C-alpha cells in the first residue's frame, strides 16, 4: 500500500508540471490583458501610467521568465495576487471554493439519494411502466439545459410562491449562528442544489441500472436465490455490492466537481462560488487566479483518482493494488 501511494504520488509530479506549462501557454496566447481592460474606458490614463502598470503586473517579461517566476513562487507556496480581487490567490480560492463546496455537496447528496435507488429499482423492474417513464424523464433531464429549469423553478418558488429566497447563500443583515445559520443556508442552497442534482441524476441512474443489469443476470445471483434468500437480500447484499465498482469510479471521478463550481447555477442564483469567479476571471484576464485555480483542480483530480483506486480494494477484495503483497 505504501509503495503504491509513493509511486503514484511520484508520477504526479511530471504530470502536474506538464499541465502547468500547457495551461500557462494557453493563457498567454489569449489576446488582451487585465491592464487594457481596466484602462480602456478611462481617458485619464496616460501611456506612461499604462506602461507602469504593465511593468508592475509583469506583462513585459518574456514568457519563459514569467513561467519560471510563477513556478518558483508557487513552489514557495505563493500563488500570487489576483488582479480582480486584489488579494492572494489562495485566499480567494478558499473563500469561493467553500461556497461552491456547500452547494455541490448538497446537490451530490440529493443526487446519490435519488439516483442509486431509482437505478436499482429500474434494473429490477426492467421493462415495467415505471421503468419506461423514468427512462423518458431521464432523457428529458439529460437534454434540458439547466438554465431553463433554474429560471422556471425560480419563478415558481421565489417569485410566485415566495417560499424560497431569490439569490445569495444567506440572509444579509441578520447575524445568525449555529442551527439557524445552517437552516438559512440550506434554504438558500436548496433550489440551486436541486437543479444541479436534477441534471446529474439521469446519468448516474442509468449507470447504476446498467451495472445492476449486468450483475443481476450472473450465476451467483441464481445461486443466492436458490439458497432461498429473500429478493431484497439478493439484490442488495449480493447484487449491489458487485455492481458498485463502476459506480464508485463515477462517484470518484466526480469528487473534483465538488470543488470546481457550477458556472451557470452559481450565476443564476447569485452564489459567490468559484465557478462564477473563474468565469469573471476569464473575461477580465485575471491569470494568477486562473492559473492557481486550474492547478488546484489538477492536483485534486489526480489525488481523487488515487483515492478511487484505493477504494476499489475495499469494494472488491479481488482487486489488489500494485506493489501490495498477495495474501
For the bound state, the minimum distance from the C-beta of residue 42 to another protein, rounded and expressed in Å, comes to: 6
Q: Which residue in 85, 102, 207, 259 binds another protein (CB under 8 A)?
A: 85
Residue 324: which residues within 8 A CB-CB, separation 6 or more?
1, 3, 4
For the bound state, the minimum distance from the C-beta of residue 158 to another protein, rounded and expressed in Å, comes to: 6
Residue 275: which residues within 8 A CB-CB, separation 6 or more?
100, 260, 261, 262, 263, 264, 265, 266, 267
Residue 186 or 236 having the CB closest to another protein: 186
The cell 451557470 sits on which residue?
Answer: 264
For the bound state, the minimum distance from the C-beta of residue 6 to another protein, rounded and expressed in Å, comes to: 36
Residue 123 or 266 having the CB closest to another protein: 266
Tell whether residue 269 is a contact of another protein (CB under 8 A): yes
Q: Which residue in 12, 16, 50, 248 binds another protein (CB under 8 A)?
A: 50
Q: Which residue in 188, 209, 238, 285 binds another protein (CB under 8 A)?
A: 285
For the bound state, the minimum distance from the C-beta of residue 110 to another protein, rounded and expressed in Å, comes to: 22
For the bound state, the minimum distance from the C-beta of residue 175 to another protein, rounded and expressed in Å, comes to: 10
Exposure b/e, 70-79, CB count within 10 A at least 16 = b = beeebeeeeb
Tell whether residue 14 is a contact of another protein (CB under 8 A): no
Residue 254 or 267 having the CB closest to another protein: 267
For 6, 47, 68, 76, 325, the CA distances from 11, given in Å and listed in that order, are: 9, 47, 21, 21, 21
Q: Which residue in 5, 16, 38, 144 binds another protein (CB under 8 A)?
A: 38
How many residues of this chain bind another protein (CB under 8 A)?
A: 61
How far apart are alpha carbons 310 and 4 in whole angstroms? Answer: 9
For 120, 170, 178, 180, the CA distances from 175, given in Å and listed in that order, are: 44, 10, 10, 10
Q: Which residue in 24, 70, 96, 207 binds another protein (CB under 8 A)?
A: 96
Q: Which residue in 12, 19, 23, 53 binds another protein (CB under 8 A)?
A: 53
Tell whether residue 176 is a contact of another protein (CB under 8 A): no
Tell whether residue 143 is a contact of another protein (CB under 8 A): no
In the complex, the residues that contact another protein under the rule CB under 8 A are 30-33, 36-50, 52-53, 56, 84-87, 92, 95-96, 99, 145, 147-148, 151-152, 155, 158-159, 162, 165-169, 172-173, 263-264, 267-270, 272, 276-277, 279-280, 282-285
Amino acid at each position: 500500500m505504501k509503495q503504491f501511494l509513493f509511486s503514484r504520488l511520484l508520477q504526479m509530479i511530471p504530470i502536474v508540471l506538464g499541465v502547468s506549462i500547457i495551461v500557462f501557454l494557453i493563457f498567454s496566447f489569449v489576446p488582451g490583458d487585465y491592464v487594457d481592460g481596466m484602462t480602456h474606458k478611462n481617458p485619464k490614463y496616460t501611456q506612461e501610467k499604462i506602461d507602469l502598470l504593465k511593468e508592475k503586473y509583469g506583462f513585459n517579461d518574456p514568457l519563459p521568465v514569467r513561467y519560471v517566476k510563477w513556478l518558483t513562487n508557487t513552489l514557495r507556496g505563493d500563488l500570487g495576487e489576483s488582479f480582480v480581487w486584489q488579494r492572494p490567490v489562495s485566499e480567494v480560492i478558499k473563500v469561493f471554493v467553500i461556497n461552491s463546496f456547500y452547494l455541490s455537496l448538497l446537490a451530490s447528496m440529493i443526487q446519490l439519494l435519488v439516483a442509486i435507488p431509482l437505478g436499482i429499482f429500474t434494473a429490477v423492474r426492467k421493462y415495467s411502466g415505471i421503468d419506461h417513464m423514468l427512462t423518458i424523464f431521464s432523457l428529458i433531464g439529460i437534454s434540458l439545459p439547466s438554465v431553463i429549469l433554474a429560471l422556471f423553478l425560480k419563478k415558481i418558488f421565489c417569485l410566485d410562491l415566495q417560499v424560497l429566497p431569490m439569490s445569495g447563500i444567506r440572509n444579509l443583515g441578520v447575524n445568525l449562528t449555529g442551527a439557524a445559520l445552517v437552516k438559512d443556508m440550506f434554504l438558500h442552497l436548496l433550489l440551486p442544489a436541486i437543479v444541479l442534482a436534477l441534471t446529474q441524476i439521469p446519468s448516474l441512474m442509468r449507470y447504476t441500472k446498467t451495472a445492476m443489469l449486468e450483475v443481476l443476470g450472473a450465476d451467483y445471483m441464481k445461486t443466492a436465490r436458490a439458497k432461498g434468500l429473500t429478493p431484497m437480500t439478493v439484490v442488495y447484499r449480493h447484487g449491489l455490492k458487485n455492481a458498485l465498482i463502476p459506480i464508485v469510479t463515477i462517484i470518484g471521478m466526480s469528487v473534483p466537481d465538488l470543488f470546481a463550481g457550477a458556472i451557470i447555477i452559481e450565476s443564476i442564483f447569485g452564489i459567490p462560488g468559484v465557478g462564477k469567479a473563474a468565469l469573471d476571471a476569464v473575461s477580465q484576464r485575471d491569470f494568477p487566479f486562473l492559473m492557481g485555480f486550474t492547478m488546484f483542480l489538477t492536483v485534486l483530480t489526480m489525488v481523487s483518482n488515487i483515492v478511487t483506486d484505493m477504494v476499489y480494494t475495499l469494494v472488491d477484495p479481488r482487486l489488489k493494488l500494485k506493489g501490495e503483497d498477495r495474501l
